[in-house]
């Protein structure tokens, strides 16, 4: 068996296996959407997907047998891997693309201004001056040779070349501007009394996928998180998802703080995404302020996503008010989330689909 020939059959079997895995991911996209054990794994390069369906069933015993004695029990064998759980691994990017396709998530396009041109230095040219470390030996010797030939100092029987100062050549950098789209996403969460564990879980799921999906399109993504009740304050990502209860609600507080934070991300350089999760209950009198802030902000945002999550006490009116006040405005994405089954649709809409 030569490696070239030998590899063909397994490549075929491997490709078929991957095809089946891809099909399985698409088929079960909705299930994966809420699979929390997946969340922890997705940050890496590979996603491990548990796929019991891919196991060929056999008639087997229900419980492990032969334990004890210091020699039984499950375990790896010394010269090769032993038993395994049926898990398939996919590249994160491919996994996201499959999920995106299955859930019909929209592609995000960088806004024209959202591109930042980065100067990337590449040592692609040659200079006569430079630091010793960048000396280009071959080019230097070539110059030496050329000079020796020209001056008639070159002796083929003793071809030793001693470079002089004028022969020295150095690698030199050249600017190669590289366009890069970058983005910032800001999540704001209403923590006033009414958001509980289950609602928080829905929010967590949504923001998890929103982050991944934006990152899929803008690898250079910055993330900021803020919480609010009647006041708004910035928190770490970890703190963002901790359950808590607060007082009253002023939705405007979040929007005003977001406006403040986003000043550090000018729209000329950033695609700016703002997501706001709330049950829609707002203090009377605050809604006009919030809508006013929103009107100011909206033109500079790639998307403003407002997700209204239904809590144990129902939901407020903010969703309708936003939809009325900003009807037809570009960059506005709203969704209602009453439960898990709304997630695929909500996710799609929040991403502008």
Give yes or no for residue 9 binding other proteins (CB under 8 A): yes
Stretch that binds other proteins, among 51-59, 184-192, 309-317, 340-348 (CB under 8 A): 51-59
Is 4 a binding residue for other proteins by CB under 8 A? The answer is: no
| CA atoms 195, 198, 204, 209: torsion sign | negative
Name which position in 27, 36, 73, 296 contacts other proteins (CB under 8 A). Answer: 73
Listed residue (230, 233, 232) closest to 247, CA to CA: 230
Segment interacting with other proteins, rule: CB under 8 A, options 15-23, 217-225, 229-237, 239-247 = 15-23
Give the tokens for residue 145. 């040779």
CA distance 30 to 250: 34
Contact with other proteins (CB under 8 A) among 31, 36, 76, 260: 76
Is 160 a binder of other proteins (CB under 8 A)?
A: no
61: contact with other proteins by CB under 8 A: yes
Among the listed residues 40, 44, 81, 156, the single contact to other proteins using CB under 8 A: 81
Size of the site for other proteins (CB under 8 A): 44
Write the binding mask 88 to 127 for other proteins: x where contact by CB under 8 A, - elsewhere. Answer: xx--------------------------------------
Among 79, 137, 160, 327, binds other proteins (CB under 8 A): 79
Query: Closest Cα to residue 44, out of 86, 87, 95, 85?
Result: 95
- Structure token digits, residue 320: 């309708």
Of positions 44, 74, 133, 179, contacts other proteins by CB under 8 A: 74
| By CB under 8 A, residue 128 contacts other proteins | no
66: tokens are 């032969």
Stretch that binds other proteins, among 5-13, 119-127, 212-220, 323-331 (CB under 8 A): 5-13
The full DSSP string for 237-269 is HHHHTS---B----HHHHHHHHHHHHTTS-TTT
Q: Is 23 in the site for other proteins (CB under 8 A)?
A: no
CB 128 within 8 A of CB 169: yes
- ∠120-121-123 over CA atoms, to 5°? 145
Joined tokens for residue 119? 């100067």
């Amino acid at each position: 068996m030569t490696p070239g020939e030998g590899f063909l059959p397994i490549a075929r079997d491997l490709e078929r296996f991957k095809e089946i895995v891809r099909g399985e991911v698409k088929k079960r996209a909705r299930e994966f959407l809420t699979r929390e054990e997946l969340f922890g794994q997705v940050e890496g390069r590979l996603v491990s997907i548990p796929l019991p369906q891919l196991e060929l069933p056999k008639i087997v015993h229900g419980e492990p047998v032969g334990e004890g004695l210091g020699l039984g029990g499950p375990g790896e064998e010394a010269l090769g891997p032993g038993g395994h759980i049926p898990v398939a691994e996919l590249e994160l990017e491919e996994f996201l693309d499959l999920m995106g396709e299955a859930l019909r998530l929209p592609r995000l396009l960088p806004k024209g201004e959202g591109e930042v041109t980065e100067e990337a230095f590449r040592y692609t040219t040659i200079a006569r001056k430079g630091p010793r470390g960048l000396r280009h030996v071959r080019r230097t010797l070539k110059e030496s040779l050329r000079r020796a030939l020209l001056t008639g100092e070159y002796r083929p029987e003793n071809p030793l070349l001693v470079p002089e100062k004028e022969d020295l050549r150095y690698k030199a950098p050249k600017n190669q501007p590289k366009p890069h789209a970058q983005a910032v996403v800001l999540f704001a969460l209403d923590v006033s009394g009414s958001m509980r564990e289950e609602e928080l879980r829905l929010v967590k799921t949504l923001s998890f996928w929103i982050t991944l999906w934006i990152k899929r399109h803008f690898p250079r993504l910055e993330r900021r998180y803020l919480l609010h009740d009647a006041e708004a304050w910035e928190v770490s990502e970890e703190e963002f998802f901790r359950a808590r209860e607060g007082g009253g609600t002023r939705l405007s507080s979040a929007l005003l703080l977001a406006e403040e934070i986003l000043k550090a991300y000018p729209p000329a350089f950033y695609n700016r995404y703002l997501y706001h999760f709330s049950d829609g209950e707002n203090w009377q009198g605050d809604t006009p302020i919030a809508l006013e802030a929103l009107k100011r902000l909206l033109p500079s945002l790639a998307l403003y996503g407002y997700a209204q999550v239904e809590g144990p006490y129902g939901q407020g009116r903010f969703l309708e008010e936003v939809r009325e006040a900003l009807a037809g405005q570009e960059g506005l994405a709203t969704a209602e989330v009453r439960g898990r089954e709304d997630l695929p649709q909500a996710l799609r809409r929040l991403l502008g689909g």
